[in-house]
Structure 1
């Protein structure tokens, strides 16, 4: 199955742009200035257009208020709207908004930002590995 990566993480963008061994990767949508919630909302809008969610938006134990980085994988092909994908992304957006209301975003130093980029990349790498095993 061909897939699309939606990310605001430059490390993910650079890695997958420079790798030629990702036969199922159709494209990367790099939202450089987007927030965590903006990435989820873009994924939701894509699901409304018929894309299917291939990775869970809230993987790992890193909370949305702890990190500014998020990467999500969706199908590149479109079909009828997948209501399971829509339910997952809507719930993820709701949880993220609740966290952002209840906790102040952290002011992170460059070193910590790089750490969170690496964590996000590791999570999306694992998701893509699983996608490639299933499809």
Structure 2
């Protein structure tokens, strides 16, 4: 990734949208689940967008968290078969996990938002703590 003009973030994470949409292009899909985010990214990769972050990054299993953020190129290029295979394999891997149908408390949801946000900030070289402090100052 060269700079914020070269990529966009596909996410269902409200924390990512609140903090990073001021600085980067964010395709925020709040009604979508983790799998739907993977499918959206898959469709973008098939259309030629470059995959900049691995869709299954982090140590939280896909069936444990409702939030996912993935970075892709803003502009489509030529479709890359290797990247298409990566995202397709990620969808297949997600489908192997048994869905957890449980209600999560607001605190747990906030924790999962923070984990996804922090991983993403590392990928786009954004100071996660500074972003959160700016958010706290607005509240």
TM-score, structure 2 as length reference:
0.83
What residue ranges of structure 2 are gaps of 5+ in the alignment? 127-139
Deviation at 1:105, TM superposition (A): 3.6
* Number of residue-to-residue matches in the alignment: 122
- The 5 Å alignment of 1:1-135 reads 1=2, 2-19=6-23, 25=24, 27-99=25-97, 102-129=98-125
Output one character per residue of 1:37-72: Cα deviation in whole Å (capped at 9) or x when no partner. Answer: 000000000011110100001111100110000000
Partners of 1:83 and 1:120 in 2: CA distance: 27
Cα RMSD of the aligned pairs, angstroms, is 1.4
CA shift, 1:103, in A, is 4.5
Which secondary structure does the structure 1 equivalent of 2:119 belong to?
Answer: helix
Give, in angstroms, the shift of residue 106 of structure 1: 3.5
Distance, in Å, in 1 between the alignment partners of 2:67 and 2:99 is 16
Q: How far apart in 1 are the matches of 2:87 and 2:53?
A: 10
Query: Partner of 2:131 in structure 1?
Result: none
Segments of 5+ residues of structure 1 without an aligned counterpart are: 20-24, 131-135
Paired with 2:99 and 2:10, the residues of 1 have a C-alpha distance of: 25
Aligned to 1:95, the other structure's residue is in SS state: helix
Runs of 4+ in 1 over 6 A off after TM superposition: none
- Is the CA contact (8 Å cut-off) linking 1:66 and 1:105 kept in structure 2? no
Structure 1 residue 104: Cα displacement = 2.4
SS in 2 for 1:18: coil
